[in-house]
Structure 1
Amino acid sequence: MRWPWQKKSLQDSRCLGIELHQGRGFAVLREADVVRECYRPADTEQGLDGLAAWVGRQQLQGVPVVLSLDALDYELHLVEAPAVSDDELGDALRFRMRDLLPQGSEQKIIQGFRMPADAYRRRLEMAFAVVVDHRRIKELVRWCKHQQLQLHSIIIPELSLLHLVAEMEPETAVGVLRLDADDGMIYLYRDGGLYLSRRLNTGTRALGLASAGEGELSLETDSRVDALALDIQRSLDYFDSQLGMGIVGQLWVLVPDNADVSELLPELERSVNIPVRSLLLESAFSNSGQETLTASLAIALGNALSFEQNDAALPVAGKVA
């Protein structure tokens, strides 16, 4: 199943993964299974001009690119899966969701992928529906064309991380936690499948960690870690009791783009009662430049991996091999 903007890629040993996040662009260049270069925008930078200049300096014209949408640019819905083939799933989801979409829905692209069949103890067949404005996709296609990049596919961060987690081959179900300044996300994966994507109300600012250079914890940090842990625990409990998928064995914490949460992880581990680890990717993915692969760069890496696995289209039944 392919999105309308996906193209067959040219053979190239390089791939550029781009993550769009909060109006900025992050990039990882992979070549021969090695992270060759990374682009991280300056803290004050907005838009994609800096990324475009970096692409030019790196002489990446013609390199295949996989790009993940900014969370501001799409909606992800979980709905009952229509009884149709995978090729017809997008159109069927559009019909099913017609009353949920606002006016102007004719300008929306809807694509879907099925939740793994073992969810909900096999009693329900569910699907994730991705809703994105067609005009935004056209803007991104034009941007890639202007940079002379070979656009391979546009995906969502949930699937970027799916490829990253699958590459690491965890033996248990895992949660992946992303914390930004004012909020966060938790994703739950098992056996190459996405089961849950949920926004959290706690970010690094509320935890007293406004930036990586401000390592002192506030007096209220402990209670806010408890609040974060409670929010995470709700997701873990839902995975176990409602989805019927058992216990999440580990929680992997993406290194925030602009904060250091390492001091909080032991307390978070005590609260959720499962192993909690920073997801340090540099050694696992041969980062030749020794750039710390923070959350946005990790997702960009997942994009590059999806190209290498030749599986950037939305996976059938929400899984990758």
Structure 2
Amino acid sequence: MKSLLARIPWINSKNRGSHLAGLYIANDKVVAVILHYVDNAWEIKESVVEAFQHESEKLPAFSSVVSKLPVESMLCVLLPENAYQWVQIEKPNLPEQDIISSLPWTVKDMVSLEPSDIIADYYDASLKQGALNKINVVVTSRTLFQPLLNIIHDSNVLLDSVTTPEMILCDMVIKDDGSHMLVSQQFGNEPSLHIIRNGELLLSRKLRGLIALAQQPLAQLKLGLLDVFGLELQRSLDYFESQLKQPPIKSLQLAIPNLELHGMAQELSQFFPARVMPFESSLTLCQQQSVEMQFAIAAALSLDARGEYENAH
């Protein structure tokens, strides 16, 4: 399921607009991209960026960006990395709607939120672990998210879905029969590791203690941290191949904001048989765009991927 939190009642999923908009909340800016349909293809009409320096400025920046979106444009919002938590649990033997309503109580001991403050949704794990059916649950805080929701509801845009960078990356990695490992990172955050195959997220985990990958020059990384990084990658590969019984990955792609990313890829390529390279989105509209813009573009395009606009053009 690509659009997490899409089954919550406040989503306007039955409405349609003439524009698609993707909004991404980064650590220091809010970025929105507006797409319109021209000559049988979606094109970028405009982008809106509002920078902020302090956490207290984030909500006004969000409000400013939303106010500049076209009337009745369909909107997909990407939650910032520090605004949600992931947990994996055994799938309850309940109807889907009952699973959703029970999630706050099912995961309450696994997250740092009170049940009354939890908004949660889930998707089925793509790979089984033995005979167990697992689901991946994303959890966000109602207290943190409600102010954003209020701004959208007071605007003229139509909120279609709320999702996370992990889900959007599934649309950005090349779709083929091979599995691709992607390591993504924002400044100030720990990197995340994802294994994606043909648009499906097979494995995702945080890599603890590696924030400095985005900050240190290559010469310093080679003194130790790059080896630690390589070991973490190998552990994930071993688990993927041995425990989950999956074939080797086809590529290892790095989306790390380090100026010496090509050098990092070259160093790591000595230890992994798969091709190691800087990440490049497979989406044409994302080419030559900043990482934040790419996320916003992919979020907007995800609204069309479900086929809801096939009669709207």
What TM-score, normalized to structure 1?
0.79
1:180 offset after TM fit, Å? 2.6
Q: In 1, are the aligned partners of 2:105 and 2:115 still within 8 Å (CA)?
A: no
- Of the three residues 77, 81, 87, the one matched with 2:87 is 77
Indicate the larger mover: 101-110 or 225-234.
101-110
Residue 17 of structure 1 is matched in structure 2 by: 22
Residue 285 of structure 1 is matched in structure 2 by: 284
Could you tell me how far apart the structure 2 residues matched to 1:51 and 1:101 are? 26
> Secondary structure of 1:135's partner?
helix
> Secondary structure of 2:219's partner?
coil
- Of the three residues 180, 189, 201, the one matched with 1:174 is 180
Aligned residues: 296
Coordinate RMSD, CA, aligned: 3.0
1:276 offset after TM fit, Å? 1.9
Q: In 2, are the aligned partners of 1:119 and 1:245 still within 8 Å (CA)?
A: no
Residue 187 of structure 1 is matched in structure 2 by: 194
Amino acid corresponding to residue 266 of structure 1 in structure 2: Q
Indicate the larger mover: 71-80 or 38-47.
38-47
Could you tell me how far apart the structure 2 residues matched to 1:98 and 1:53 are? 34
Residue 316 of structure 1 is matched in structure 2 by: none
Q: In 1, are the aligned partners of 2:218 and 2:260 still within 8 Å (CA)?
A: no
Could you tell me how far apart the structure 1 residues matched to 2:248 and 2:273 are? 11
1:26 offset after TM fit, Å? 2.4
Residue ranges of structure 1 left out of the alignment (5+ in a row): 210-215, 313-321
Indicate the larger mover: 6-15 or 129-138.
6-15
Could you tell me how far apart the structure 1 residues matched to 2:182 and 2:226 are? 17
> Secondary structure of 1:84's partner?
coil
Could you tell me how far apart the structure 2 residues matched to 1:70 and 1:269 are? 31
Amino acid corresponding to residue 279 of structure 1 in structure 2: F
> Secondary structure of 1:272's partner?
coil
Q: In 2, are the aligned partners of 1:34 and 1:285 still within 8 Å (CA)?
A: no
Residue 123 of structure 1 is matched in structure 2 by: 131
Q: In 1, are the aligned partners of 2:252 and 2:276 still within 8 Å (CA)?
A: yes
> Secondary structure of 2:17's partner?
coil
Could you tell me how far apart the structure 1 residues matched to 2:210 and 2:35 are? 30
Could you tell me how far apart the structure 1 residues matched to 2:253 and 2:278 are? 6
Could you tell me how far apart the structure 1 residues matched to 2:52 and 2:113 are? 36
Could you tell me how far apart the structure 2 residues matched to 1:264 and 1:39 are? 32
Could you tell me how far apart the structure 1 residues matched to 2:110 and 2:300 are? 33
1:199 offset after TM fit, Å? 0.9
Amino acid corresponding to residue 286 of structure 1 in structure 2: L
Could you tell me how far apart the structure 1 residues matched to 2:221 and 2:255 are? 23
Could you tell me how far apart the structure 2 residues matched to 1:88 and 1:154 are? 20
Residue 3 of structure 2 is matched in structure 1 by: none
Q: In 2, are the aligned partners of 1:28 and 1:38 still within 8 Å (CA)?
A: yes
1:100 offset after TM fit, Å? 3.5
> Secondary structure of 1:171's partner?
coil
- 1:61-210 correspondence to structure 2 within 5 Å: 61-101=71-111, 104-116=114-126, 118-120=127-129, 123-165=131-173, 168-182=174-188, 183-201=190-208, 203=210, 205-206=212-213, 208-209=215-216
Amino acid corresponding to residue 292 of structure 1 in structure 2: Q
Q: In 2, are the aligned partners of 1:204 and 1:259 still within 8 Å (CA)?
A: no
Indicate the larger mover: 41-50 or 8-17.
41-50
Residue 274 of structure 1 is matched in structure 2 by: 274
The alpha-carbon distance between structure 1 residues 18 and 110, as it changes in their structure 2 partners (threshold 3 A), is same
The alpha-carbon distance between structure 1 residues 124 and 179, as it changes in their structure 2 partners (threshold 3 A), is same
1:286 offset after TM fit, Å? 3.2
Indicate the larger mover: 79-88 or 8-17.
8-17
Could you tell me how far apart the structure 2 residues matched to 1:98 and 1:199 are? 20
Residue 263 of structure 2 is matched in structure 1 by: 263
Could you tell me how far apart the structure 1 residues matched to 2:223 and 2:156 are? 49
Residue 5 of structure 1 is matched in structure 2 by: 10
Indicate the larger mover: 133-142 or 5-14.
5-14
Could you tell me how far apart the structure 1 residues matched to 2:209 and 2:289 are? 23
> Secondary structure of 2:285's partner?
coil
1:125 offset after TM fit, Å? 0.7
Residue ranges of structure 2 left out of the alignment (5+ in a row): 1-5, 309-313
What TM-score, normalized to structure 2?
0.81
Residue 44 of structure 2 is matched in structure 1 by: 35
1:161 offset after TM fit, Å? 1.6
Q: In 2, are the aligned partners of 1:207 and 1:221 still within 8 Å (CA)?
A: no
1:80 offset after TM fit, Å? 0.9
Q: In 2, are the aligned partners of 1:177 and 1:253 still within 8 Å (CA)?
A: yes
Indicate the larger mover: 237-246 or 219-228.
219-228
Residue 47 (str. 1) matches residue 54 (str. 2): no
The alpha-carbon distance between structure 1 residues 119 and 245, as it changes in their structure 2 partners (threshold 3 A), is farther
Could you tell me how far apart the structure 1 residues matched to 2:279 and 2:243 are? 27
The alpha-carbon distance between structure 1 residues 144 and 235, as it changes in their structure 2 partners (threshold 3 A), is same
Residue 225 of structure 1 is matched in structure 2 by: 226
Amino acid corresponding to residue 203 of structure 2 in structure 1: L
Could you tell me how far apart the structure 2 residues matched to 1:255 and 1:293 are? 12
1:126 offset after TM fit, Å? 0.4
